[in-house]
Structure 1
C-alpha cells in the first residue's frame, strides 16, 4: 500500500455510487479531506458532513474553469459524475458526460493532480460473449444505447489522456449495476416509471408473485454501493492503473425469479425487446430500448483481476444486494441528496400528469360515447383510445386504493363502474354514456376526498 492522499476530489459525490465511496472514505481514510463536486450539494446527512462542497454543472461550457477551485491542492480525483436523465436527451447527456469528463481531465491536469480513479461501466463491453469476460474483452459497447456510446467515447478520451500524461496514474473501474436501498429512486426512474404501481413492487418484495416473465438466457450481476466504495479505496491507496471489473456473483433466470418467489417464464428476447420498445414509446415504462440492451446484452464480468491485484472481493452477494434494492423500491426509498431522490419534485409532477391524463381521457371517453350514441360515424376509434388511456392512468390509483384497503363508496363502486363502462362501450348505445357519467361522479368525489386529506 502506498501513502494515502491528503485531499481527494470526488465528482458526483452526492449520487448512488458516491454515497458508497463517501462511506468507504470515512471508514478507511478518516483523515483525508474530501472535496465534493455536484450540481446540487446536499444540505443534510451524516455522510456529507465532512465534505467540502463545490456546486459545478459539468455540462456548462466553462466547467473546467469552474472546477479549478475544487482541484486546488488535491492529490487525487475520483470521477463518478454521471447524468442519466433525461434519458432521451442525447445532446445534454453528451455535454454532461463526455464534455464534462473532458473538463475534469483538463482541470486536474492544470492543477497538477497525478492520480485519477474513473467510474466506467459494464456498458462499455460488446455483446456476444458466452462466458464472463475479463478486462480485455472488446469495449465497443452497445450501439443502441446513448449511455453505452458515451461511456465508450470517454474510455477513448482516457486512452489519449494517458498517452499525453504518463505521469498520471489512471485507474478505471467497471461496475455492474450498483445497488443499495437508497438506489430505489434512481432504478425506478430509469427502468420502471410512474405507471408501475407500488402494490406490484410490494408483492415482489413479499415474494408473492406467482410467475415472472423474463427474456430467455438472461444473466444479471449486481454489486452493492459499499463494495464499490471499498474497491475505489483500494484503487486509490494502491495507486492502481488499468481497468478492473467490479461485480458480485451472476444470477440466471431461475435465480432472478426466485428473488420475488416466482416461477420464471422465459420469453423470446426479440419479442421482449419489441414489447419494451412499444411500451417505452408510449411512455408506459421508463426503460428505453438502449437501457434494455445494456441490461440484457452486456456480458457477465469476470472479477478475478480485482481479486488478485487489489485483494478485493464483494462482501454481499447479488441476491442480498438485489433484495435490499427491492425493499427500497417497495417502500419508495430515497437517499439524502437530490441525486438520489431527496425532495424530488418530479414525483409530484408525474402524479399530477397522470391525474390530468386520467381526467382528460375520462371526459373524452364520455364525449365520444355520446357522439357514438348520436350516430356519429367512426366515433368508436377515438372512444377506444380514450378508454385505454383512462384505464392505464387509473390503474395505479385503483391499486393504491386496494393497498390501503379502503371500503368507502368510491373504492367499492369504481371497479364495478369501470367494468360496466368497458363492457357497454363495446356495444355502443346510451349505456356507456351513463356508465362514464357515473365514473365522472366518482372521480369528482375522489378529488374532493384528496383535497380534504
Structure 2
C-alpha cells in the first residue's frame, strides 16, 4: 500500500517513518516543507511543499493520487506570537489536506489530533473518545486542534466513503526530539545545560499530564493502517506525569506556587519576548483530562511500552544534552545557532515564516 505522511520530519513523523520502514513493506512518501538529507537506501520518497501556501494544493492532489492512506501529522508550535501563521498551518493546512484526500479519492485518512482538542476536565476520571472536543479556552494550540476536529466532522459527513481515524495522544516525547523541544521552551541565548542547574521548580502541585512515547504512537498508527479502523483513539501511558515527577526528573525541589501566579509570570515574560512559551500552555497543562485508552487496547491490541515517567526522563535528559535528530525540525540546538537565528530571522517565538 502507498502511504503518504504529512509533517514527516517532526517528532511523530520520524517515529512513524521509522516504524513503517522497519516493520512493513508499504511504499512511503514523506511530505515536509524542509526535507532531510536523503539517507542512502532509504525507502521513503520525499516531496517538499508548504501547507500554509495555497499553491501547495495541486502538489497535494498529485501526491495523494493512488495512495491507500494519508497520515496527516503536520502542525506548528512556533512562532507563538504569530497566531495567523499557526492557524494557517494547523487549521487551513488541514483543510487543504482534506480537499486533496477528496480529490484523489483516498480511502483512508488518519489525522493527528491531540489530548489538547478535548474540553477542560471535570475531575480526575479518565475520559473516553466521546468526551467533548471544544478545546481549552486560552490555549491557541488547543483551540486550533478543536477547529481541525470540526473540519473532520464536516468532511466525514460529506465523504462517507472515506474512513477517517482521529488519533488523540497525550504529550509525546522521544530522545531525538530533545533539541526541538528545547528550542520551543527555552530562550535562545540560554545553553541547554541550564536544565541541570535548576534548584527549584515553582509550579502548582496539581499538575497531571498524560504522556506517551513517540514509538508507541507510531505503533498505534501502524495498527490503524493495518486494520483500517476508523473513529477516535486515545493514546497515553498508564499513569500521568505529575509536578513531583517533573521536579525529580530535573533534580529540583518543588516549590508550591498557585497556577494563577505561574500563568501570570509566563504571560509577562512571553509578552516581553523573554521566553517562547505562551501562557495558554499553562492552561492546557492544568485543564487537559486524563485519557481512557480502552478502545485502542480492545480494537487495536495496542499497549504502551513506556511509562509516562520513563517518557519524561527520556525527554528531560536529551533536552539537557541538546540531543537531536537528522531532520531540519529535530536539528541540533546551540546558543550560536540561536544568535544566528536572532540576527537573521528574529527569535523563533515571533519571527514570521515564509
Q: What's the TM-score once normalised by structure 2's chain length?
A: 0.90
Between the aligned partners of 2:223 and 2:272, the Cα distance in structure 1 is 44
Deviation at 1:41, TM superposition (A): 1.2
Which residue does 1:286 correspond to in 2? 276
Contact preservation (8 Å) 1:63, 1:100? no
User: CA distance change for structure 1 residues 11 and 351 in 2, over 3 Å: closer, same or farther?
Assistant: closer
- Alignment of 1:236 with 2:225, yes or no, is yes
Aligned residues: 341
Deviation at 1:325, TM superposition (A): 1.2
Q: 2:175 aligns with which of 181, 191, 198?
A: 181
What are structure 1's unaligned runs of at least 5 residues? Answer: 1-5, 204-208, 354-453
Q: Greater shift after overlay, 282-291 or 165-174?
A: 282-291
Deviation at 1:351, TM superposition (A): 6.8
Deviation at 1:146, TM superposition (A): 1.8
Between the aligned partners of 1:307 and 1:82, the Cα distance in structure 2 is 26
Q: Greater shift after overlay, 113-122 or 297-306?
A: 297-306
User: CA distance change for structure 1 residues 351 and 83 in 2, over 3 Å: closer, same or farther?
Assistant: closer
- Output one character per residue of 1:292-347: Cα deviation in whole Å (capped at 9) or x when no partner: 22223212222122112211111011111111111211111221111212588952
Between the aligned partners of 2:80 and 2:199, the Cα distance in structure 1 is 32
RMSD of equivalent CA atoms: 2.0
Q: 2:161 aligns with which of 144, 164, 167?
A: 167
Which residue does 2:348 correspond to in 1? none
The DSSP-based 3-state class of the residue aligned with 1:54 is strand
What are structure 2's unaligned runs of at least 5 residues? Answer: 345-354
Q: Which runs of 4+ in 1 moved over 4 A?
A: 342-346, 350-353
- Alignment of 1:274 with 2:267, yes or no, is no
Alignment of 1:363-382 (within 5 A): none
The DSSP-based 3-state class of the residue aligned with 1:340 is coil
User: CA distance change for structure 1 residues 196 and 298 in 2, over 3 Å: closer, same or farther?
Assistant: farther
Which residue does 1:347 correspond to in 2? 338
- Whichever of the two has the greater Rg, that structure is 1
Contact preservation (8 Å) 2:6, 2:73? yes
Contact preservation (8 Å) 2:138, 2:283? yes
Deviation at 1:217, TM superposition (A): 0.5
Deviation at 1:8, TM superposition (A): 0.3
Which residue does 1:7 correspond to in 2? 2
Between the aligned partners of 1:66 and 1:342, the Cα distance in structure 2 is 30
Deviation at 1:149, TM superposition (A): 1.3
Between the aligned partners of 1:187 and 1:343, the Cα distance in structure 2 is 10
Between the aligned partners of 2:45 and 2:306, the Cα distance in structure 1 is 30
Contact preservation (8 Å) 2:212, 2:311? yes
Contact preservation (8 Å) 2:129, 2:233? yes
- Alignment of 1:147 with 2:141, yes or no, is yes
Between the aligned partners of 1:72 and 1:120, the Cα distance in structure 2 is 24
Alignment of 1:69-218 (within 5 A): 69-131=62-124, 132-203=126-197, 210-218=199-207
Which has the higher relative contact order, 1 or 2, with Cα contacts under 8 A spaced 6 or more apart?
2
- Output one character per residue of 1:114-159: Cα deviation in whole Å (capped at 9) or x when no partner: 1011000111111132122221222111221221111111100100
Deviation at 1:170, TM superposition (A): 0.6
